[in-house]
Amino acid sequence: MRVLIDIETPKQVHIFKNMIWQLLKNGHDVKIVARNKDVTYELLNSYGFKYEKMGRHMKKLVLKILAMVKSDYELYKISKNFLPTLLISFGCPSSAQVSRLIKKPHIAFTDTEHSIEQYILYAPFTDVVCTPDCFRRDMGKKQVRFSSYFELCYLHPNYFKPNPGIFKCLGVGENEKYVVLRFNAFSASHDVGVRGFSTNQKETLVKEIERYVKVFVSSEIELPKSLSEYTIRIPPHKIHDALYHASLYVGDTGTMCSESAVLGTPGIVFHPKAHKIGNFIDLENKYGLISIQKTPENAIKKATELIQQDDIKQEWQKKRERLLKDKIDITAFMTWFIENYPESFQIMKENPEYQERFK
């Protein structure tokens, strides 16, 4: 089998990496194409992946449209040369559109309910859309639901082993508490009109938490000078070690909040759309692993409350254990689904419980 995998963001590197390694181990040919958003190329290089560059991520809507047209053309040329059996992406319009041009199936994975504009551009040309079972939108006959989160593609115990060397990398003691903050750039197409913490609110958040523990800040945009000293200075591929050992995560981006949750670290997310997204609702209401806040003031207040609680990490690790018992190994499922497509699609439509064998 010849599989073309389209990667648009750093998170997608993590989502697909273990699956790619397994496909390669099983003797399949894999072609990776990637766009340069944030640390995407740096992550791919750190894992030793060979890939073809597809340009950089655009922030403005007009530039996004022009970039998609260019991306379609470049991906079409690559596909005609590689001759893929399947195209795989995280709901990428270019992959879907090119799959139709070359008459090959496209499988989309997604957990972003509010990305309507991308859905419109990829769904008509996509053969299968795989989503978590907590996904709140009905995407019709093409949809396959699985009992897991995409964060478990790379943070499931089968793949992730926390490295205690992160303490030395961070410059903290092994018993020293610290908090990780993450600030979003809000440059994705589904983030139009969405705002996170203001500069003043970021400064207040850091000041309040710093009263109790050490603070590290990760940010997609340049931090103001007042916060630059708090920048977390570790290789990008070590961020999950930092999240695992952190006492708390706070941010206005959902990805790292979900990652913290499945690692057993308390997470607080301030995001206007978080209460409408299935995996956040699931993590808050079903497992109590995260706290969704609708205002920055409430997020700051909640953060100062949680950081003062004793034994909070032990409590959250128990919650994590319950979650892991409920969820399947999504990487194993994705690998099986791709290797056995289209029979796998039919199996899942007729017998969704088949996925239980991947626990």
Q: Are residues 343 and 224 in the same domain?
A: no
CB 178 within 8 A of CB 170: yes
Which domain range does residue 197 map to?
166-326
Cross-strand pairs, 174: none
CB 219 within 8 A of CB 252: no
Does the pLDDT value for residue 58 go beyond 70? no
Cross-strand pairs, 107: 88, 128
**β-strands 106-109, 128-132 pairing:** parallel
Q: Is the peptide bond before 342 cis (omega within 30 degrees of 0)?
A: yes
Q: Does residue 161 fall inside a structural domain? A: no
Q: Are residues 46 and 101 in the same domain?
A: yes
| Least confident span in 5-19, 177-191, 264-278 | 177-191
Q: Are residues 106 and 182 in the same domain?
A: no
Sign of the Cα pseudo-torsion (281, 286, 287, 293, in order): positive
Q: At CB < 8 A and 24+ separation, what contacts does 187-194 make? A: 187/57, 187/59, 187/220, 188/115, 189/61, 189/64, 189/115, 189/117, 189/118, 190/112, 190/114, 190/115, 190/116, 190/117, 190/118, 192/61, 194/271, 194/272, 194/273
Cross-strand pairs, 178: 214
Q: Are residues 34 and 119 in the same domain?
A: yes
Look up tokens 């959902």; give the residue.
Answer: 254
Q: Does residue 127 fall inside a structural domain? A: yes
Q: Does residue 207 fall inside a structural domain? A: yes
CA distance 59 to 38: 12
Q: Are residues 135 and 94 in the same domain?
A: yes
Q: Are residues 131 and 209 in the same domain?
A: no
pLDDT band of 63, cuts 50, 70, 90: low
Average confidence (pLDDT) over 253-278: 89
> Cα torsion for 219, 278, 349, 334, to the nearest 10°?
20
> Cα torsion for 252, 119, 338, 349, to the nearest 10°?
110
Q: Are residues 274 and 350 in the same domain?
A: no
Q: Are residues 67 and 103 in the same domain?
A: yes
pLDDT digits (tens, 9 = 90+) for 130-151: 999 999 889 899 999 999 999 9
**CATH code: domain of residue 273:** 3.40.50.2000
pLDDT digits (tens, 9 = 90+) for 12-53: 999 999 999 999 999 999 999 998 888 899 999 999 999 999
Q: What is the percent of the chain where pLDDT is above 90?
A: 78
Cα distances from 309 to residues 153, 266, 299, 314, in angstroms, run 30, 11, 16, 11
**What is the domain count for the chain?**
2
Q: Are residues 227 and 274 in the same domain?
A: yes
CB 119 within 8 A of CB 138: no
pLDDT digits (tens, 9 = 90+) for 300-351: 999 999 999 988 999 999 999 999 999 999 999 999 999 999 999 999 999 9
Across the chain, what does the average pLDDT equal? 91
Q: Are residues 104 and 199 in the same domain?
A: no
For residue 189, what pLDDT is reported? 42
Q: Are residues 308 and 230 in the same domain?
A: yes
Q: Are residues 18 and 138 in the same domain?
A: yes
